[in-house]
């Protein structure tokens, strides 16, 4: 495309990107490739997003490393060597640092700078970006690459400030690590972050108290060093391997069993479940094709996992307390390394918050309705204000003074999870209304970045300077997202997909279920000259 070649003052760019994680880095690479001037603002001191912040013990990805990576560069995917089936946080962070260096991205990224406000100026057609360093930058395009799980949720518990020991949130973990040796430690929360960190902290702490509000379904990762023969096989046709996952309902490799749990006799069903359990990880969800659509089928998987918990945990009463009752995989399924077995350790105590709710945090520890737990450290593994939290932290003002916080007061509304009516030239990557967290994030990010890049190029070719979703297209899309969600079992539990984990957050199912139909829709929209968007000069 023909980029504007007139010299620009340092605070005016063609595009501003917020965030330098997987999404922001690739977006920068692509927009620069169009010849655009681009500035990235990143709150962290380095690249990596989620993988920069979540340095808690045991942190690793629940999607296999050979496919939790970029595919846009054949050289990159050939040269990078993953060491384990599931990459630990530090390795993913090294990978992203490598990407930043390899594609010389750093000069265009301003670190330690949080975007505080975005305001659209009708006359100039540009966004003014106000940053935490007091700076103001203008840009025609603005891309929110702020991540789905980047705004930590810290519960407000009475007396928190009075605790005399140390407190940590898994998503804001100190960079030089934490030593728990000899300590009495509490972990509050048993989602993925709790499930991954609890077995590791238990090995070091003198005493570990796990404060559980809702028991969780977890499948063993069966993590292992990567087999060089397997890696060589994938790399021999990496494009083919990626294509297979692109067309897989989960967007990562998993053997799909095209049989219904309800049409399979119990003994055979258990054999199948066990085979997937031994294989490990999220592919367990592919063991039968009716698990997400029929509660009776769903509960066969639930009961299988409860059976495993009863087998693993020696104390039957404790095992019952660890058994989840809600819909299987309605909250994101966890993938663990020794989670349930950790409760057999003599230094680990489960505190069931349904029996003894937390009343307050005191100087010496946590007081529940039953007793006071004396503690040296408290770890909050309490998750995120997911999908909308990081976006709504920014004071965003669109056309005619419209506020994003008001536009989303009853829950997020987007067209394709890519743009919001009333907010021209503002794109979201893996925003609410797109498959994002229900898919393998990296291919989803690449699909969005590619779509946005093509859109910006199209606008330049056709002399357009402004794009914005029409309210009608947005309304129809929001209805469609809800309609699809309603045929699944996802809305049947209090998950962060629904915003149910954050007090006061509107209860709306945020991601779109179905990667392939979604991609098809995005492609059709582009092919029909961005149908559902208003383009203007
Ligand atoms: P999650 O999955 O949201 O888990 C948070 C956990 O913290 C969950 O067990 C919550 O219980 C618990 N929680 C939250 N608030 C409280 C309070 N106030 N008291 C007690 N317990 C509380 O976050 P994660 O960081 O583990 O994982 C997020 C995603 O990252 C994960 O799904 C993967 O995609 C990667 P609840 O279930 O709400 O009763």
Give alpha helix (H) positions in 247-294: 266-279
Residue range 135-172, pLDDT digits in tens: 999 999 999 999 999 999 999 999 999 999 999 999 99
- The domain segmentation of the chain, as residue ranges, is 12-47+105-151+386-530, 160-380
Residue range 24-56, pLDDT digits in tens: 999 999 999 999 999 999 999 999 999 999 999
Pocket of ligand 1 (CB under 6 A): 149, 155, 170, 188-194, 211, 213-214, 332, 353, 381-384, 496, 501
What is the reported pLDDT for 227?
A: 97
For atom 18 of ligand 1, which residue has the closest CA? 155
What is the reported pLDDT for 68?
A: 98
Q: pLDDT confidence of 8, banded at 50, 70, 90?
A: low
For ligand 1, the distance from its centroid to the CA atom of residue 151, given in whole angstroms, is 13
For ligand 1, the distance from its centroid to the CA atom of residue 241, given in whole angstroms, is 33
Kind and range of the H or E element at 52? helix 50-53
DSSP of 91-108: HHHHHHHHHHHHTT-GGG
For ligand 1, the distance from its centroid to the CA atom of residue 295, given in whole angstroms, is 23
Kind and range of the H or E element at 389? helix 389-392
Q: Which CATH number fits domain 12-47+105-151+386-530: 3.50.50.60, 3.40.50.2300, 1.10.3720.10, 3.40.30.20?
A: 3.50.50.60
Two structure tokens written together for 378: 């408290």
- Contact status, residue 129 vs residue 142, Cβ threshold 8 Å: yes
- Contact status, residue 211 vs residue 356, Cβ threshold 8 Å: no
Residue range 441-494, pLDDT digits in tens: 999 999 999 999 999 999 999 999 999 999 999 999 999 999 999 999 999 999
* Pocket probe mutation, ligand 1, options 150, 168, 191, max atoms within 8 Å of Cβ: 191
pLDDT surpasses 70 at 6: no
Indicate the pairing of strand 533-536 with strand 426-428.
unpaired
For ligand 1, the distance from its centroid to the CA atom of residue 381, given in whole angstroms, is 6
Two structure tokens written together for 57: 């013990």
What is the reported pLDDT for 497?
A: 95
* Pocket probe mutation, ligand 1, options 327, 382, 496, 503, max atoms within 8 Å of Cβ: 382
Instruction: Indicate which atom in ligand 1 lies nearest the CA of residue 193.
Output: 26
- Contact status, residue 283 vs residue 85, Cβ threshold 8 Å: no
Residue range 398-454, pLDDT digits in tens: 999 999 999 999 999 999 999 999 999 999 999 999 999 999 999 999 999 999 999
For ligand 1, the distance from its centroid to the CA atom of residue 41, given in whole angstroms, is 28
* Pocket probe mutation, ligand 1, options 68, 501, 502, 504, max atoms within 8 Å of Cβ: 501
Residue range 273-286, pLDDT digits in tens: 999 999 999 999 99
Task: Give the separation between CA 421 and CA 407, rounded to whole angstroms.
Answer: 9
pLDDT surpasses 70 at 7: no
Percent of residues, the chain, with pLDDT higher than 70: 98
Residue range 72-120, pLDDT digits in tens: 999 999 999 999 999 999 999 999 999 999 999 999 999 999 999 999 9
Please name every residue paired with 394 in a beta bridge, in sequence order, or none if there are none. Answer: none
pLDDT surpasses 70 at 4: no
For ligand 1, the distance from its centroid to the CA atom of residue 525, given in whole angstroms, is 36
């Amino acid at each position: 495309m023909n980029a504007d070649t007139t010299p620009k003052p340092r605070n005016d760019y063609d595009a501003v990107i917020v965030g330098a994680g997987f999404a922001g880095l690739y977006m920068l690479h692509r927009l620069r490739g169009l010849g655009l001037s681009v500035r990235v603002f990143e709150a962290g001191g380095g690249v990596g997003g989620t993988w920069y912040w979540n340095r808690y013990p045991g942190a690793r990805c629940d999607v296999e490393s050979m496919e939790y990576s970029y595919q846009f560069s054949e050289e990159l995917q050939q040269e990078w060597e993953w060491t384990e089936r599931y990459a630990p946080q530090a390795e993913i962070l090294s990978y992203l640092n490598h990407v930043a260096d390899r594609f010389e991205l750093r000069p265009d990224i301003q670190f330690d700078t949080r975007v505080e406000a975005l305001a659209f100026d009708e006359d100039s057609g540009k966004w003014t970006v106000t940053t935490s360093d007091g700076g103001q930058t203008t840009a025609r395009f603005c891309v929110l690459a702020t991540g789905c799980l980047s705004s930590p949720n810290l519960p407000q518990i009475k007396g928190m400030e009075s605790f005399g020991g140390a407190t940590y949130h898994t998503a804001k973990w100190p960079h030089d690590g934490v030593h728990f040796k000899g300590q009495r430690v509490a972990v509050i929360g048993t989602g993925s972050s709790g499930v991954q960190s609890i077995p590791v902290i238990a090995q070091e702490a003198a005493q570990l108290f796990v404060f559980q509000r809702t028991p969780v379904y977890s499948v063993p990762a069966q993590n292992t060093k990567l087999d060089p023969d397997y890696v060589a096989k994938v790399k021999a046709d990496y494009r083919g391997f990626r294509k297979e996952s692109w067309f897989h309902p989960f967007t990562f490799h998993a053997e799909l069993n095209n049989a219904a749990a309800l049409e399979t006799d119990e003994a055979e069903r258990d054999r199948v479940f066990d085979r997937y359990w031994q294989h490990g990880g999220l592919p367990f969800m592919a063991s039968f094709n009716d698990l997400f659509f029929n509660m009776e089928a769903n509960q066969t998987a639930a009961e299988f996992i409860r059976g495993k918990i009863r087998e693993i945990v020696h104390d039957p009463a404790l095992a019952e307390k660890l058994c989840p009752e809600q819909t299987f995989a309605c909250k994101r399924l966890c993938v663990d390394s020794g989670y349930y077995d950790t409760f057999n350790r003599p230094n680990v105590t489960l505190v069931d918050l349904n029996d003894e709710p937390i009343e307050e945090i005191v100087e010496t520890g946590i007081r529940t309705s039953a007793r006071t737990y004396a503690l040296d450290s408290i770890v909050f593994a309490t998750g995120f204000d997911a999908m909308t939290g990081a976006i709504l932290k920014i004071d965003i003002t669109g056309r005619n003074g419209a506020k994003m916080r008001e536009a989303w007061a009853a829950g997020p509304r987007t067209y394709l999870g890519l743009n919001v009516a009333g907010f021209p030239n503002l794109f979201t990557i893996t925003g609410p209304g797109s498959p994002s967290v229900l898919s393998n994030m990296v291919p989803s990010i690449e699909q969005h970045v590619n779509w946005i890049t093509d859109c910006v190029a199209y606008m330049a070719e056709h002399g357009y300077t402004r794009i914005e979703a029409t309210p009608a297209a947005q309304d129809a899309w929001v209805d469609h997202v809800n309609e699809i969600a309603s045929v699944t079992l996802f809305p049947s539990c209090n998950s962060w997909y629904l915003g149910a984990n954050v007090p006061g957050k509107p209860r709306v199912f945020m991601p779109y279920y179905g990667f392939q139909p979604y991609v098809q829709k995005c492609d059709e929209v582009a092919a029909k000259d961005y149908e559902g968007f208003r383009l203007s000069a």
